[in-house]
Chain A
């Protein structure tokens, strides 16, 4: 980087650099100083002045403190790129660290620590040891921070030299800034090293509490944050902590206040004394409110924290709702947060005031803010029963404004109010119907259609209104279409007139024949069948009482909320995400890979080929290193419930929750594809519902003339049973993950995962029959997935399974580009398994990338570095694995057995760390993907940091999952 830019720079501005050089060599001190200042100015604006390094270092030996500082500033910036030259400066550093002037001593230690060059650390230890015991507090506080710097470069050195104990001694220092830095350094080391560097015991607790009074404001924050991690031994212990911390609530620094609140909230749980806790809450309220008098940035952080606090302890601020009223000059990010807290604090007592505010906000300019204000009114109505009527009235007033987005938002929330209080406010329907023409947003249209269907019997012209919507049925978004189908059915059941009948035939015909949306098709088929078999049942199901809704828009999950409360006054509390979600401790692995790679490959270029041969053999054998349970992809378990077979009333209950389309089966409509032609039934069409070979059922007439069971429902598997194969169960090394529990599968339990056998992927599936009779005729099909995986044959090579019997089979898999799911890759595999006796069962499995790694996926050692560099930095993803790597040869063999081949391995100089570069080729479509991996770990210690580069960054999570499987926990 340096040389590249430098060349460019030198050709265009040769004169300037030359001039700098001249001036730096000048004898005149002030001229020299000016020159260094100019160099630093150039450095700031991004010019590369690294070529001046020797000249600048030459100016270092001077008594002029100002000049020295300037040189040090330059050094910190460029020492990394010029490590050999930086050594030149060491002597001066060491000498300066013994200078009679404390400023110079501190400057030397501070700067040495900032130069992150391994070679310098050895020279740093002695001066550091001296400075930690220096007479001058300024030197001591600088040395304390320097320990943290050194720990980051070389942790063992810090432990060996006893610097940690020296730091702990500084906690009792007489100077507040020394104490603050000692706490900060210990906390940092604690976090980086995960070691017990800063474990608070009852004795150190006392020290910290005493230091709290002596410390600078920043130090107080560090102490309070460390105290938040301490669990009190008993109520008395907790009380004494709270007693010492409470005065901090009066601090002018908002960080101190918030951290103090965090400590008090944590200790309140241990105190358990109701009266005392109540008093504490009363004490916390005014300082929390005062935070809102700060700058908007501070307010924003405070509001995000307060929103967490009021979810857990609404009583703290229950009387303070007024202070959360928006000011017209608040930035929008503050207004949005205030609104959220106002909703949380709204109660029967203050709701009139709050509603008045919301109404005002609904007339403001910012569209998003206005929408949120209207929603807020609806949410108040849903959560405060006694205020509902007033809320409705405000909403009706807002509808009168005729502002399109206000009206639409109001319609959406009024639908929610109807759901919450059925049969109470129907008088407003007429007003809603008047603004039908304004509605152009899907959510509002869907809400309106729901209202028309739900109250069809009270709206005289409900059929006309619905017809108006139906004209544009094919063009409507899915959410509206779904509502229209339901509303048409409701209308028909409530007013079975010819017009309604005609309408429903039209809708159901379209929804079953023309649409690509499986949700819509499923729903239409279900209604169709219900109506045609038992209209009374249809009535009972469709017009049943709906469960009452509650306002859950703000509520965080209790476990997340408690995590966030424990992380109050941290970034986690601002993002409302657990720290793991955004904190990554990776140093810039990219940079280091580039530095290390060339050397590494020369060292052990022989390894890959030999291990690759071994890998193939192992895979063909009994599969000793069979990839263990690949962690299922992120979405897999969550989506599990969605594509459940359409059976029973519970599903219909779900269908009544028509607010949002179900997420998972949206792409379930796979084209018919099969290896054996006569079996060409699209099983996965069935996944979507009840697809059929023949034409759709005749249009159902009015219920009395219901058709006999239409052919539509013929069993899609009504085909010759496959020849039973002998069960060729491979030995199962580890228990397979459960995919389908017996209670979901009507007695058939399935567990399984992807594996690799005979140089190809297989689906290793364990069947277990707990039903009453024998099962046979097993067939299997996959939905489209990110790897185009499908069974090579639909019939499962498994004979009849007696009751209580179980068997494990490897279903050979093939890859087919036609079955490739669009979009970024996910590990989700949707599978259907069918038996003659139990019909079709659907479940999700995880596609383990480990099963797709090709034998012989190694690269020429020489090709690795160019390949690594050819991929942009953005193509890299990193993660940490819980594995503990033992000796490298064994680990390497294990990886090779799983078709991950070592390209290079070496120890990182100056630390216990080792690094290895590996490669693997994954059989993906349309073309195989070469994966380039970097692993870093400390020998024997748990935790491996992995980074992967490939053309397809969306595979990264699956790569890490596969590595976890190979390396174990």
Chain B
């Protein structure tokens, strides 16, 4: 199985290292780091699995550090990568977050955990909950100045921006409070054709739970009644007999955490589980069912009536979601062809409030990034770009080369699949037991591309 496990800093320093089988020569950390640093002459990401001199190196990047395993055998790579991801998760659960500093500050605790997670290269116990009884060291939880907001905006990590160790609630002198976070995180991919039609779209969603409930009570999560799993093979949704079409939420496929009991899922769409401590996905799902895309973008290229050495590009973004919601951190990236030397921008209307938007022309890669701090549902924004051309061919010369436009955004409290938590049930032990429940939704962009 796994011969060695190590954690490297972004500069290649070894922060944690553990050798299980002793069959990989010393210096494997350097071999590995040199290899990924200079993969394809340093131009690209190395694939997560490769081999050098009979040693296979598997790695994942998380929180800025590299989690690496080496082996000499023909093992299951998905098992090892999954385990590495899981170790990353355990570190987050115990240290509050995964970063170089967090790992350095908690070295001994992590060795203690690793001893329980991997024995002789075999994965053992990988649930943060079960590990708790074997751990004696106290975590050093980092409280970064950026705090919750920064973690919240972090695309891909979900909105759980809580920096808290699972150990906080388990200690007798519990300073943490009883609370549970249930987050529906949806990453959406959407590709629009040049004429504005949706070509492909997909939702990758997860119900993430982060539980800090003392005594681990069982909980029940009830989802939409009209939840349909499996792609329909023709025929409308109505044939399932779930009532009005607007209530239907269709998912292609889903899977569940092993702690989930599905007894009431078929009939009541209710998930029952005893949530282990720490963060985990209760349910992962995927849907290619059409949804209403939250943003529409148009990009037109016009001649400048005054000069053939200029072209005018109008970039228009419309937020197509309810007005009571707002997207944060919208970034619109437009690549330009080689003929464009420089650009100047002006918003169509004076931005209100000031400083709510900005643009950045990256000359080396010929990309314009338009950033809008907050975009309310239903609003529309336009950017007028004047491009200076080197060939004097006017708009015709650049039209083909502008785009595709890509968008990045986070929309809190919005859920494009319309999946909902109808209720979150925690049985009461006594009258005073009032744990905090947080049910939150967030939609994140994964690959949101508008072709031109």
User: Which residues does A use to contact B, with CB under 8 Å?
Assistant: 37, 40-41, 44-46, 65-66, 69-70, 73, 77, 80, 103, 110, 113-114, 116, 141-142, 145-146, 148-149, 152, 177, 181, 184-185, 188, 191, 217-218, 221, 225, 250-255, 258-259, 286-287, 289-290, 293, 295-298, 300-302, 322-323, 325, 327-333, 353, 356, 360, 363, 365-366, 401, 567, 569-572, 574-575, 579, 582-588, 590, 873
Contact = CB atoms under 8 A, between A and B. Distances in A.
Given A300-B47, A332-B44, A44 B17 contact: yes
Contact of A328 (B59, B74, B77, B406): B406
Given A114-B120, A145-B119, A295-B60, A571 B77 contact: yes
Interface string B63-96: 0000000011111111101110100000000000
Contacts of B406: 328-329
Contact of B22 (A46, A217, A588): A588
The interface residues of chain A, by DSSP majority, are classed as helix
Nearest to B193: A356
A333 B401 CA distance: 25
Contacts of B257: 252
Given A250-B255, A300-B49, A582-B54, 11 more contacts: A45-B14, A146-B120, A184-B122, A289-B286, A293-B286, A297-B49, A300-B47, A325-B191, A327-B189, A583-B73, A588-B22
B137 A571 contact: no
B335 A290 contact: no
B202 A44 contact: no
Interface of B: 1, 13-17, 19-23, 25, 44-49, 51, 54, 56, 59-60, 71-79, 81-83, 85, 107-108, 111-112, 115, 119-120, 122-126, 134, 136-137, 189, 191, 193, 199-200, 202, 204, 230-231, 252-253, 255-258, 281, 284, 286, 288, 335, 365, 400-401, 404, 406, 446-447, 449, 451
A329 B155 CA distance: 12
A588 B134 contact: no
Given A113-B120, A295-B60, A360-B451, A331 B189 contact: no
Nearest to B21: A152
B335 A571 contact: no
B89 to A, nearest CB: 11
Given A296-B48, A301-B48, A571-B51, A188 B78 contact: no
A588 B255 contact: no
Contacts of B446: 327, 329
Contact of A286 (B17, B112, B252): B252
A183 B76 CA distance: 15
Contacts of A177: 124-125
B405 to A, nearest CB: 10
B76 A184 contact: no
B109 to A, nearest CB: 10
B75 A571 contact: yes
A323 B288 contact: yes
Contacts of A254: 78, 82
A899 B433 CA distance: 86
Contacts of A586: 23, 54
Contact of A571 (B49, B119, B189): B49
A302 B73 contact: no
Given A141-B124, A290-B255, A333-B45, A365 B365 contact: yes
A149 B120 CA distance: 7
Contacts of B19: 77
Nearest to A590: B25
B217 to A, nearest CB: 23
Contacts of A250: 255-256
B404 A569 contact: no
A45 B16 CA distance: 8
Given A46-B14, A298-B82, A286 B253 contact: yes
A41 B14 CA distance: 11
10 contacts: A40-B108, A73-B115, A145-B119, A217-B258, A218-B124, A218-B126, A287-B255, A297-B85, A323-B202, A332-B44
A328 B447 contact: yes
A583 B72 CA distance: 6
Contacts of B123: 218
Given A221-B79, A587-B23, A570 B256 contact: no
Contacts of A70: 108
Given A322-B288, A331-B45, A585-B72, A255 B78 contact: yes
A331 B79 CA distance: 21
A932 B192 CA distance: 66
B127 to A, nearest CB: 9
Identify which of B47, B78, B136 gathers the most chain A CB atoms within 10 Å of its CB.
B78
A27 B252 CA distance: 64
B25 A588 contact: yes
Between A356, A363, A401, the greatest number of chain B beta carbons within 10 A of the residue's beta carbon is seen for A363
A188 B71 CA distance: 13
Contacts of B44: 332-333, 366
Contact of A333 (B22, B47, B79, B191): B47
Contacts of B112: 69
Nearest to A70: B108
Contacts of B56: 571, 582
A496 to B, nearest CB: 45
A252 B78 contact: no
Contacts of B401: 363
Contacts of B22: 80, 116, 587-588
Contacts of A353: 199
Contacts of A289: 252-253, 286
B14 A588 contact: no
A180 to B, nearest CB: 8
A880 B288 CA distance: 52
A250 B51 CA distance: 31
A366 B40 CA distance: 12
A40 B111 contact: yes
B78 A332 contact: no
Contacts of B23: 586-588
Chain B CB count within 10 A is highest, among A44, A65, A110, A188, for A44
A181 B118 CA distance: 11
Contacts of B1: 184, 188
B322 to A, nearest CB: 26
Most chain B CB within a 10 A radius of its CB, from A152, A185, A217, A586:
A217
Contacts of B119: 110, 142, 145, 181
Contacts of A328: 404, 406, 447, 449
